[in-house]
Amino acid sequence: MSYEAIRGALAARRTVVLDGGIGTEILRRNVTWADHQLASKPEFVRGIHEDYIRAGADVISTNSFQLCRRALYNHFRDEAHRRHIGARDLDQRADRLLAASVRLAIDGRDRAGATGRVAVAASVTTLEWCFRPDLAPNPSQAREEYREIFGVVKDAGADLVLLETVNSVGEAAVATEVARGLGLPCWVAFVPDEGGRLFSGETLAQAVAALEPLGVDAILLNCAPPDDITAGMKELAPRARVPIGTYAHIGRFNPPEWMFTDEYPPDKYREESARWKAMGAAILGGCCGTTPDHIAALASLR
Amino acid sequence: MGTMYEILATRLREGRGVLLDGPMGSELVRRGIRWRKHGLLTDAPAVQQLHEEYARAGADVLRTNTFQLNPRVYLNVFRNVQHMRHIGAPGLEDLVPHLYRSSVQLARQARAKAGKESSVAIAGVLSPLEHCFRPDLVPGEEGLRREHEALARILKEEGADFLLLESMNTIREARAALAAGRAAGLPVWVSFVLGPEGDLLGRELLGEAAKEMERGGAEAILVNCAPPEDLSLAVDRLKKATSLPVGAFAMAGRFSPPSWKFDFFPQFVETDEWPPARYVEQAKRWRERGATIVGGCCGTGPGHTAALRRLLGNGGRG
């Protein structure tokens, strides 16, 4: 299993490079995002995975941000309403696309000749909107939904789960427990605010204390501007015993799309990442707005 | 009250049919327009073109491309307003008023290009502040009043002839939006989205809702955003409850949402099941049951508008 190579690198204190943005890279290449393009343009999505591998990524993440049953069902009043006016495939769509996203990343890895060297991380986000801890479902409901999601990605062949853009300790703990229970390696990435806290108001110290006993494999920070990632690293680095990592977003969120800016060209993003590495980050990558060029720049930090 | 609306009101009083246009969102998406900011920033020519096609197909009313557009659509995908300022694109906070102005201007320009400035009215569209299919999310009274008033005022300032409250899912929000429209000095039509049971999506009785809107000063009551077969019964219920003009506009096909929340992505599939001829067969039934206003909701297009025009006849239009 490809995660063993990654586990080995982390144990030997070698830097592991994670890929960059997928959703935003789809937009940057002037393709609309709406349905993840998993059904309509699979070769195009796979091409982005291959580009990240060629840029030097050791771990690539699936194109599955917010791809879950709940995100689709939220558009209807209830089941009766969904059945009455909804598309007929909605019961199966999330699982089908999620599995497709994993298979596509594996296919991209194999085509890039990186089998055994590059691990495929199933990207899974909070069940409700990633920036809204107030919407999170209760733990027993969350457990049931994560069981379904992680079961699908495991069956499809993911090497690990990357639970990303997480906003609360509670949801992270439930998900970690489920993933480890299924035998899946589990990385958890939190969004830090300007003060280095979670969006729920909890601290990274609390997150570390909750997740390490559950067997989390790494704790990361993502989807915040570089300065906020630095603020989070000040909290995370002194407390974590598991490997830690960083992947910031660059540019601005312009819903439902992304605004690309030239504030952090690859060289400058590399400098930020070098600082996080000096603070203790073992996993370096890019979130929204980063490109294969940014990942290529990080590869030289290994 | 504007002259243009007077013409429409007279037509309604005399029981002559009034034809609403078809949808903007689902048709723009069907045409391949990338759904961002309702296409109002990046694809304004396509928006105007579609309005114009509806006008040329014979619509008496053009609706602004503002369905499910309000500041909450953007604010809801951030932690809060500070987070929006911190990581959001510049200007996001003030974007919606600008989009509303553009939406009215584009509809008006299209009307002029079609040469129908003296026969077609512009309806400024307001819809539920939260997702139109989620009555459980309707905000508190204070937010409802303030936010609908702000949007209604812009529609009025830019020259909308009247207000159409579309896909309202609760009496409470409809009442607040109706009051907001009247405070802005606009005549108001109220349209409710039907649930699978045939009443409001929020499960209140359609007849009760109609009576409440009549008391609140609405000029017409409609039902929309449900499959065509559902609307005949709804028209019966409306006719029993109110003496106001009644209308109906149905969806064609099935709603196929995006995976993310963001703004309501108006994508409909299986719309081929409702070609114009079949749709008009249903509209004929709504007419027979007493509907004066007919049109098309999500999934229909200018072809449906043209077919409905033939159903209504020229109706003494200028």
What is the rounded average pLDDT of the residues A21-25? 94
> pLDDT tens for residues A90-142?
999 999 999 999 999 999 999 999 999 999 999 999 999 999 999 999 999 99
Contact of A15 with A301, CB cutoff 8 Å: yes
Phi, psi of B139, deg, nearest 5: -70, 175
Using CB atoms, pick whichever of B35, B87, B269 lies closest to residue A253. B87
Q: Is the Cβ of B227 closer than 8 Å to some Cβ of chain A?
A: yes
All residue ranges of chain B with pLDDT < 70 are: 1-2, 261-263, 315-318
- Collect all residues of chain B within an 8 Å Cβ-Cβ radius of residue A256: 35-36, 77, 260, 262-263, 265
Give the closest of A94, A253, A256 to B263, CB-based.
Answer: A256
Instruction: Find the range with the poorest average confidence among A32-36, A146-150, B214-218.
Output: A32-36
Q: Per DSSP, which regions of chain B are E strands?
A: 18-19, 61-63, 121-126, 162-168, 188-193, 220-224, 246-250, 254-255, 268-269, 293-296
Query: Residue A127's closest chain B neighbor by CA?
Result: B260
Measured between CA atoms, the residue of chain B closest to residue A88 is: B254
The whole-number pLDDT of residue B4 equals 92
What's the confidence (pLDDT) of residue B317? 53
Residues 6+ apart with CB under 8 A from B130: B72, B76, B137, B138, B139
Q: Across the interface, do B260 and A131 touch by the CB < 8 Å criterion?
A: no
User: Any idea which fold A3-299 has?
Assistant: TIM Barrel (3.20.20)
Please check whether residue B103 is in contact with residue B64, taking contact to mean a CB–CB distance below 8 angstroms. Answer: yes
- pLDDT, residue B304, reads 98
Q: Which positions in chain B touch A194 (Cβ < 8 Å)?
A: 86
Nearest by CB to A87, which of B78, B201, B255?
B255
Angle at B60 between CA B177 and CA B168, to 5 degrees: 25
Task: Confirm or reject contact between B201 and chain A (CB < 8 A).
Answer: yes
pLDDT for the residue B318: 40
Smallest Cβ–Cβ distance between A35 and the set B83, B259, B262 belongs to: B259
- Inter-chain residue contact B78 with A257, CB threshold 8 Å: no
Indicate the residue type of A5.
A
Report pTM.
Answer: 0.95
3-class DSSP assignment, residue B294: strand
Q: What is the ipTM for the molecules in this complex?
A: 0.94
B88, B195, B265 member nearest A81 (Cβ): B195
The dihedral built from the CA positions of residue B288, B290, B292 and B297, taken in this order, carries a sign that is negative
A254–B201: do the CB atoms touch at under 8 Å? no
* A150 vs A143: CA distance, rounded Å: 10
Minimal C-alpha gap between B315 and chain A (Å): 33
The answer to whether residue A192 scores a pLDDT higher than 70 is: yes
Query: How would you class B124 by CB atoms within 10 Å of its CB: exposed for 0-12, middle for 13-18, buried for 19 or more?
Result: buried
Any idea where the domains of chain A sit in the sequence?
Answer: 3-299
pLDDT at B111: 98
Q: What is the pLDDT of residue A213?
A: 98
Write the pLDDT tens digit of every residue in B137-156: 999 999 999 999 999 999 99
- Read off the pLDDT of each residue in A202-223 and give the average, rounded to a whole number: 98
User: Stretch A259-277: mean pLDDT, rounded?
Assistant: 97
- B94 contacts in chain A (CB < 8 Å): none
Q: Do A71 and B261 touch (CB under 8 A)?
A: yes
